[in-house]
Structure 1
Amino acid sequence: MTTPSRLSPLLEQFDFARERLSARMTGPVMNSGDGTDTEVGPMTDEEYFWEPVPGCWSVRRRVDEPGARAAFLAGTGDWGRDAASYPHPWPAPFTTIAWRLSHLSEMLTLRADHTAGSHTLARDDYPVRGDAVGAVAAFDAGAAAWRKALQSIDDAALDTVGYCTYPHGSDPEELFIDVVWWVNQELLHHGAEVALLRDLYRARLR
């Protein structure tokens, strides 16, 4: 299928952000932004779970209690992500790399399913990973699933309200092209947050 012209720049932006984040988490080098390579080691489990301030939301073993101000652990499996029903706590809790990466990967996986899959996956179906390597793999799988879903889109779908039926957002009321833009925004800002937390973690050891 030919990629709609309006979708092409959004796909290019998504691919750029995805590749930058993947390289930032795994190494051995990443693009520094000026065309040169900067060495970066793979993210460790300690770094993945690092809580830079008290009261962070994170990913936790399901046998443990949720974090401060969290009401439950979202997801399925032995691990869960700190969560609360609406209205969420305010000010929002600071979140670890584990929380941010799990949230991002879940969003990509579920939106892919609700665009070009079974249209049935919910947060309680999503396995939360309790290790850095597994979490990076889950992100790569979610990003690939979303990219594949977008490759099935024609121009008419971009102007269809509710084309994506993702149940944890406003997608059923949104034009699909706006959903695509929103996913890019989520990837860009959460990717930047993960990168900053990696920088802060490294700086604390000096």
Structure 2
Amino acid sequence: MTLPPRLIPLLEQFDFACERLLARLAGPVMDSGNGVDIGVTPLGDDEHLWEPVPDCWSVRPRGDGPGARATVLAGAGDWGRDSADSPHPFPPPFTTIAWRLSHLAEMLTLRADHTCGSRALTRDGYRTPGDAARAVSAFGTASAAWREALLTADDAALDTVGYSTYPNGSDAEDPFVDIVWWVNQEVLHHGAEIALLRDLYRARPS
């Protein structure tokens, strides 16, 4: 299928954001931004779960229960991600790299499924990785799944409200092209946050 022309720049932006984030997380090198490769230390478990301030939201062993101001560990499996029923706490809790990566991977996985899959996956059924290597891998798998979902969209689909039936966003109210744009913003801004947290971890007092 020929890609709709207005989807092409959005797909290119998504690819750029994902490739850059994965390089920042897994290395061994990444583009510094001016065409020069710089070395990257792969994300480790301590950094993945590092809490730079008190009372962060993170991912935790289910047996430990939720963190401060969280009411539930979302997801399935031995680990869960701090969450709370709406309305969420204000001001929002500071979140770890682990929380942000899990949020992105879950969102991309579920949106892909609700666009061209079973349309049955739920947040409660998503298995949250607890270690860095599996978290990075989960993001890579999820971003690839969402990209495949985008390739199913023709021009009419981009204008269709509810083309994605993802239940945890505005998909039921917005044209699909707006959802595609929104997902890009999620990856871009959380990717930038994760990059900054990596810098702060490297520069933390010993």
> Residue in 1 aligned with 2:136?
136
Could you tell me how far 1:141 is from its partner in structure 2? 0.5
Counterpart residue identity of residue 119, structure 2 = H
In structure 1, distance between residues paired with 2:205 and 2:171: 42
Counterpart residue identity of residue 18, structure 2 = R
> Residue in 2 aligned with 1:70?
70
Counterpart residue identity of residue 52, structure 1 = P
Please give the per-residue CA displacement for 1:139-176, whole angstroms capped at 9, x wherever unaligned: 00000000000111100000001111000011111100
In structure 2, distance between residues paired with 1:40 and 1:99: 21
Alignment of 1:90 onto 2:96: no
In structure 2, distance between residues paired with 1:205 and 1:183: 35
Please give the per-residue CA displacement for 1:78-127, whole angstroms capped at 9, x wherever unaligned: 00000001000000000000000000000000000000001111101100
Could you tell me how far 1:38 is from its partner in structure 2? 1.1
Please give the per-residue CA displacement for 1:169-195, whole angstroms capped at 9, x wherever unaligned: 111111000000000000000000110
> Residue in 2 aligned with 1:43?
43
Counterpart residue identity of residue 121, structure 1 = L
In structure 2, distance between residues paired with 1:35 and 1:157: 37
What SS class does the counterpart of residue 187 from structure 1 fall into? Answer: helix
What SS class does the counterpart of residue 107 from structure 1 fall into? Answer: helix
% same residue: 70
Please give the per-residue CA displacement for 1:27-81, whole angstroms capped at 9, x wherever unaligned: 1111111111111110000000000000000000001120000000000000000
> Residue in 1 aligned with 2:152?
152
In structure 2, distance between residues paired with 1:73 and 1:141: 22
After the TM superposition, list the runs of 4 or more consecutive aligned residues in structure 1 that deviate by more than 2 angstroms: none
What SS class does the counterpart of residue 172 from structure 1 fall into? Answer: coil
In structure 2, distance between residues paired with 1:178 and 1:33: 28
Q: TM-score, normalised by structure 2?
A: 0.99
In structure 2, distance between residues paired with 1:124 and 1:53: 28
Residues matched between the structures, number:
206
> Residue in 1 aligned with 2:166?
166
What SS class does the counterpart of residue 196 from structure 1 fall into? Answer: helix
In structure 2, distance between residues paired with 1:177 and 1:65: 38
In structure 2, distance between residues paired with 1:134 and 1:3: 32
Counterpart residue identity of residue 98, structure 2 = A
**Gapped regions of structure 2 (runs ≥ 5):** none
**Gapped regions of structure 1 (runs ≥ 5):** none
Question: For the aligned residues, what is the CA RMSD?
Answer: 0.7
> Residue in 1 aligned with 2:114?
114
In structure 1, distance between residues paired with 2:122 and 2:168: 8
In structure 1, distance between residues paired with 2:64 and 2:112: 31
What SS class does the counterpart of residue 119 from structure 1 fall into? Answer: coil
